[in-house]
Structures are given as structure tokens and as C-alpha cells.
């Protein structure tokens, strides 16, 4: 019986080392050039699946959440040939991450909002915003 070797470039979730299964990333894409922010759901040789929004839509997304309007992140597959780079999104102390800003400005849990099963966000009966 041959022992199988674990790929040292992956962690237990199958994601590349350094990326957590529920972490947020910023993907820089080519053709067209854009940046996309969200939760990394899957990644393999074919590409990456993220639940998120374009970075340039962040302020509008936050505004919609605060106003109680429908705001839905999208689950999107990006083929590997479009991915120029992907970095784990983190704050640096003085400058908060987008996740931290979203939580601070809306009171919402970003991990919950950006799950693969996220539904439209709307205003509740008492005016609270909820998924």
C-alpha cells in the first residue's frame, strides 16, 4: 500500500496556504482590468469562486445596506486566465479592512452577508436590516 503525500501547498480545506476557508480576498482581474472583493469559496486549477462585489461598488453597497435597500453580493467564478493576483484582505491597524469597514458602518456580519447562500438584504418589521 503506497502512502499518499499531502500537497504542501494546500491546507486541510484544499485552499492554498495562507488563504482561510472563510477569509476575504481582493482579486485583481485582467480583460477587463478590475478588482473584486469577497469571500473565497473555492479555488483550483480552473479558477476561483468568490461571493462578493466589485471594489468600486463598495460604497454603494454599504449605502444600500444602511438604507435598508436590497443588497446582494454575487457568487462568481473567475477563470484562472483572468486572475492576475489574489491577496488576503486585512487591515493594518490604522487602515481598516473592507470587512471591518462594512461591519463598522452597517453593523452587519460580513461573513454572514457574503456566504454562498446569501439572500437579498431587506429592512425588517422594526426597521432593522437583516438577510
Distance CA 90, CA 10 (A): 20
Region 31-40: what's the mean pLDDT? 94
Region 96-108: what's the mean pLDDT? 93
- 126 vs 12, residue with greater confidence: 12
Backbone angles phi, psi at 44, to 5 degrees: -155, -170
| Longest Cα separation, the chain | 63
Residues of the chain above pLDDT 90, percent = 52
pLDDT in tens, 16-34: 666 666 689 999 999 999 9
* Grid cell at residue 59: 460604497
Distances in Å between the alpha carbon of 130 and those of 6, 22, 33, 84, 98? 41, 20, 33, 34, 19
What is the overall mean pLDDT for the chain?
A: 80
Place of cell 503525500: 5
Distance CA 102, CA 18 (A): 23
Residues of the chain above pLDDT 70, percent = 71
What spatial distance separates the first Cα and last Cα of the chain, rounded to whole Å? 50
Question: Quick check: 8 pLDDT over 60?
Answer: no
- 92 vs 46, residue with greater confidence: 46
pLDDT for position 123:
39
The separation between CA 90 and the C-alpha centre of its own chain, rounded to angstroms, equals 12
pLDDT for position 76:
93
Amino acid at each position: 500500500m503506497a502512502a499518499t503525500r499531502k500537497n504542501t501547498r494546500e491546507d486541510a480545506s484544499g485552499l492554498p496556504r495562507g488563504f482561510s476557508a472563510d477569509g476575504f480576498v481582493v482579486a485583481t482581474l485582467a480583460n477587463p482590468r478590475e478588482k473584486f472583493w469577497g469571500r473565497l469559496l473555492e479555488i483550483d486549477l480552473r479558477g476561483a469562486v468568490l461571493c462578493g462585489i466589485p471594489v468600486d461598488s463598495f460604497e454603494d453597497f454599504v449605502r444600500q445596506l444602511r438604507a435598508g435597500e436590497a443588497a446582494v453580493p454575487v457568487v462568481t467564478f473567475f477563470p484562472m486566465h483572468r486572475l492576475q493576483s489574489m491577496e488576503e484582505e486585512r487591515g493594518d491597524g490604522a487602515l481598516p479592512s473592507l470587512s471591518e469597514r462594512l461591519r463598522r458602518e452597517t453593523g452587519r456580519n460580513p461573513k454572514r452577508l457574503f456566504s454562498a447562500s446569501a439572500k437579498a438584504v431587506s429592512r425588517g418589521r422594526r426597521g432593522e436590516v437583516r438577510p
